Amino acid sequence: MSLSIVSSVSGGCLADRVIQTWSLSETIFGLAIVLSVYLALVVKILPSFMKQREPYKLKSLLLFYNCFQVAFSAYLVFIYSRYILRYGVITKRCPKGEDLQAVIKEIYPYFIAKHLDLLDTVFFVLRKKDNQVTFLHLYHHNTMVTWTWLHLMYHPTDHFVVVGMLNSFVHVLMYAYYGISSLGPKYAKFVWWKKHLTKVQLVQFVLVTSHLHYQQKLTPCPLPTFFHYFCVSLICSFFLLFMKFYVQSYRVRKERKANDLNVGNKLGEERLLKGL
């Protein structure tokens, strides 16, 4: 484990403020264990377990889980909004010692949240919603966990406060949708805004990419170059994949409906002519 040591003078005495972080190799090793267990569970172990079984409904569990996620995400929005109000959208602080320790304490809830999100996939598999376990789904969850490990364990900083706030706000909406949907078909009318969720996510990616660029440019303590470009590349890949999903899910579907309507109209006209 590597140590970041910051010294300060207090009452005429030299006091060491020690912040412990993991080395890059230690971080990657710990991360690899988490992701390996996750992928083995949702790609191999649970699908094999469910192969000869009926899907679980999990209605009460899902309602509790989604309500908790909404509340937890709202809490994250609160603590990161509070930080932004104190230090600005583009923070120019370089927190050290006790200040950095306070920042790390506020990173921990987001770190925990990204691991709790992995339960989404577990519930999809247990309910045999295999169509939900897509490349986009797995890629998004894996890379977000990777980001938070590098952020917290290897290079803790306050550069990602705006990222955490925006992402947590989107999760409030997303888990609210999941929670209402879990109540059954009769509540479908309350989630008419489902298709707008992807639009909100796309806007989020644009805002986050812009923020990361200007934060790195204006801060007196920039991120390591590889980490900065790793984060920007992830967000750009999210934007492209979510845009593809949006086009395939809504635009193509809309065109198909329009084509089906045209075919139906033509058949109706042919039948009418035949009747005449």
Q: What is the reported pLDDT for 252?
A: 63
Nearest-angstrom CA–CA distance, 246 and 240: 10
Backbone angles phi, psi at 97, to 5 degrees: 55, -125
From 140, 151, 159, 211, the catalytic residue:
140
Q: How far apart are CA 221 and CA 150, in angstroms?
A: 17
- Which tokens is 160 given? 């990602």
Farthest CA pair distance, the chain: 104
Q: Is position 140 annotated as part of the catalytic site?
A: yes
- CA angle at 77 for the pair 73 and 83, rounded to the nearest 5°: 145
Neighbours of 56 (CB within 10 A): 14
Going residue by residue through the chain, which has 276 residues, state the pLDDT in tens, using 9 for 90 and above. 655 544 343 443 433 456 889 999 999 999 999 999 999 999 999 999 999 999 999 999 999 999 999 999 999 999 999 999 999 999 999 999 999 999 999 999 999 999 999 999 999 999 999 999 999 999 999 999 999 999 999 999 999 999 999 999 999 999 999 999 888 888 888 888 887 999 999 999 999 999 999 999 999 999 999 999 999 999 999 999 999 999 988 766 666 655 555 544 555 555 544 444
Query: pTM of the full predicted structure?
Result: 0.86
The residue among 108, 171, 133, 105 whose CA lies nearest residue 44 is 133
Structure confidence at residue 8 (pLDDT): 40
Residue 248 CB partners (closer than 8 Å, separation 6+): none
**Cα separations (Å) of 3 from 13, 16, 160?**
21, 12, 22
**Which burial class, exposed, middle or buried, applies to 115 when counting CB atoms under 10 A from its CB (0-12, 13-18, 19+)?**
middle
Residue 238 and residue 144 in contact, taking contact as beta carbons nearer than 8 Å: no
CA distance 185 to 1: 51
